[in-house]
Amino acid sequence: MNWYTITPLDVLLFRDAKPFTPGERAWASSTFPPNGHTIAGALRKLLGDKKDLQITGPFLCRDESLYFSRPIGFVGSIPLVPLAWDENSNLHQALWDKQQPCPLVKPSDCNKDHERKDAEIGNYKFREYLSFTTVQKYLHSGKINRSDWLTEDKTKTEIEPWLVETRSHNALQEGTRQVKDADGYFVENAIRLKEGWSLAIGLESTINQAIETPAIIQLGGEGHRAILQRVEVLDNQWQKLQELSKKNFTKGQENFKKGDKEHGKSIAYLVTPGVFERRDSKDNRLSICRAWPSEWKLAHAVNSNQTIGPLVSVSTASALPISCRIRDTKDEPGKSIPAPQVFAARPGSLYYLNQPAKLFQEDTETKVRVWQQLGYSELLWINFDSKSINKEAQP
């Protein structure tokens, strides 16, 4: 993969998947960071509509370092673990719905002094985006140091490195100074990245020959301009994370096969929006919108007829609406029409498995592969070690 940064020259507009018509709804909602469909649309204008794209990201970038959405399975800087993985927890007597993933709890050996310090600081000072070096240590050791969560930046740029600017749009009645009754007023949010920040994307190396950088692209609603710049330093960063992830995946599988189930436990860290589709065995149709992959069956069964799988628990947040379009319609080739909205798992979601398991999307050439080619459902794998979960990670 060849990596590039996208630096806006102005504000950016990325409307969410909710239908919007001025007059019917006066507020146009927005979302950030942009999704893979938005990035692909901007690149196709630069490369030509017939170019096939293989995208990784987008991620945030600062000082030539990739930044990723924080793992959701933490309370402050304290990692949560599935109740089934903590034998000493005093919550094993609690009742929970076995048709759902196992509850997440604080480790039974949680450092009380650590917990007290987190409470004194407050969640507002914990980073929402973690740097490449922090994520690298997370993949290497399975832990994130408390110091890596905290930010001393008084401007809070590492909590939310962009500003939301609310802008109103008025249309006046002809010959008057009054706003039109119909379609005369609506409000939308514009995004302005803070100084020093940009977006970062990876493109398949074959595309690099067709791009002369720096280049100007039109990104998002109203085609605001941004600079596309090649940054070779990011190539090595992503490669290191991929190598660590694959090593952890292989190690977890091998340990589980050897019967070492304790060291087969793994965590899948979702770093881009997750669009998990499943195959219908009757007519081969594909269904979308799940918080976790359907092929990962739950590791606990309600009845004897239930298939046991690797998935123990899930840590996620509200679904992320994705708006996209259907291209190459039969009536007007080359045109596009709005497609049904899709709800993706939010980046930062964590999946706790008794053993690593691949997605069927990775081994097929069907429609699901198209979503992955646009950067969705990117997972990084971490080996889980219950004995050292509260120890500090080594550099």
Q: Which of 348, 379, 349, 345 is nearest to 362 (CA)?
A: 379
- Between these two residues, 395 and 57, which has the higher pLDDT value? 57
Q: What is the mean pLDDT of residues 84-99?
A: 90
Share of the chain above pLDDT 70, in %: 79
Whose tokens are 């020093």? That residue is 196
Q: 140-160, pLDDT tens digit by residue?
A: 999 999 889 987 665 566 678
Residue 309 confidence class, pLDDT cut points 50, 70, 90: very high
The amino acid occupying position 108 is: S
Whose tokens are 């080739």? That residue is 333
Q: What is the mean pLDDT of residues 80-94?
A: 91
- Domain locations in the chain? 2-78+128-170+181-234
Whether the CB-CB separation of 73 and 268 falls below 8 Å is answered with no
Q: Which two tokens stand for residue 266?
A: 């793994």
In what order do the strands lie in the sheet containing 215-219?
Answer: 129-131, 65-69, 55-62, 197-203, 2-8, 224-230, 215-219
Q: 191-207, pLDDT tens digit by residue?
A: 899 999 999 999 987 77
Q: 216-273, pLDDT tens digit by residue?
A: 999 987 778 999 999 999 999 999 999 999 999 999 999 999 888 888 999 999 999 9
6-20, 43-57, 312-326, 380-394, range with the lowest pLDDT: 380-394
Taking the CA of residue 59 as centre, how many other CA atoms within 13 Å lie in the half-sphere pointing to its CB?
30
Q: What is the mean pLDDT of residues 50-76?
A: 90
Q: Which pLDDT belongs to residue 310?
A: 95
Using CA of residue 306, residue 307, residue 308, residue 312, what is the dihedral sign?
Answer: negative
CA distances from 327 to 49, 330, 331, 355 (A): 10, 9, 11, 39
What DSSP state is assigned to residue 288? Answer: -
Q: Which pLDDT belongs to residue 368?
A: 64
Whether the CB-CB separation of 61 and 202 falls below 8 Å is answered with no
Q: How far apart are CA 238 and CA 246, in angstroms?
A: 12
Q: What is the mean pLDDT of residues 38-49?
A: 83
- pTM, two decimals, is 0.89
143 φψ region: left (φ > 0), alpha (ψ -120 to 50), beta (else):
beta
- Between these two residues, 177 and 354, which has the higher pLDDT value? 354
Q: Which two tokens stand for residue 305?
A: 């007829």
Pairing of strands 325-327, 336-338: antiparallel
Share of the chain above pLDDT 90, in %: 41
Residue 71 has pLDDT above 50, yes or no: yes
Q: Which pLDDT belongs to residue 83?
A: 94
Q: 2-40, pLDDT tens digit by residue?
A: 999 999 998 888 876 665 555 555 556 678 889 898 898
Residue 395 confidence class, pLDDT cut points 50, 70, 90: very low
The DSSP bridge partners found for residue 167 are 188
Helix (H) / strand (E) element for 121: namely helix 112-121
